[in-house]
């Protein structure tokens, strides 16, 4: 098992931050076989997801139809609901020292709150058959 915490600086609400290259590098350096990678972001409002590159705008349009930014009495209730709906955790298989993703897929941290210059901490945990 291997664990690492990475910090990602985020800007603004509903902004995607690609982390696939970071994840691939950590897997390549620390897993010489098959296994699973577990990602977990700290907090009650961020989210982790896998999405086809180029679908970011469509995803935001879809999610904001379900959970709109406006009409909330609590200022960032939409951020809590969005995070809950998407999830703060991901589990991804590893085969031959590579995270298993379809062609063109990206792992994203999604900042859902209207905060700028915020640090999000992501725990990356590898369970490999080294």
pLDDT surpasses 90 at 114: no
**Mean per-residue pLDDT over the chain, rounded:** 93
For residue 71, the model assigns a pLDDT of: 64
- What is the per-residue pLDDT across 37-80, written as a single tens digit (0 to 9) for each? 999 999 999 999 999 999 999 999 999 899 887 666 667 888 88
Task: Residue 70: give its domain's CATH number.
Answer: 2.60.120.460
For residue 78, the model assigns a pLDDT of: 85
- What is the Cα gyration radius of the chain? 15
Q: How far is Cα 38 from Cα 55, in angstroms, rounded to an integer?
A: 23
Segments forming the whole domain that contains residue 114: 2-128
Task: Give the chain's domain count.
Answer: 1
**Residue 41's closest CA among 72, 10, 1, 78?**
10
> What percentage of residues in the chain have a pLDDT greater than 90?
77
Residue 8 in 3-state DSSP?
A: strand
Q: How far is Cα 3 from Cα 103, in angstroms, rounded to an integer?
A: 26
């Amino acid at each position: 098992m291997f664990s690492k915490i990475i910090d990602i600086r985020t800007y603004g609400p509903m902004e995607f931050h690609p982390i696939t290259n970071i994840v691939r590098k950590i897997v390549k350096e620390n897993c010489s076989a098959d296994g699973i990678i577990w990602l977990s972001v700290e907090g009650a409002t961020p989210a982790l997801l896998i999405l086809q590159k180029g679908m970011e705008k469509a995803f935001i349009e879809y999610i904001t139809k379900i959970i709109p930014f406006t009409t909330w009495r609590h200022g960032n209730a939409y951020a809590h609901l969005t995070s809950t709906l998407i999830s703060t955790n991901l589990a991804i298989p590893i085969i031959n020292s590579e995270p298993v993703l379809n062609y063109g897929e990206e792992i994203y941290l999604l900042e859902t709150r209207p905060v700028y210059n915020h640090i999000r901490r992501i725990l990356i945990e590898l369970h490999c058959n080294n």
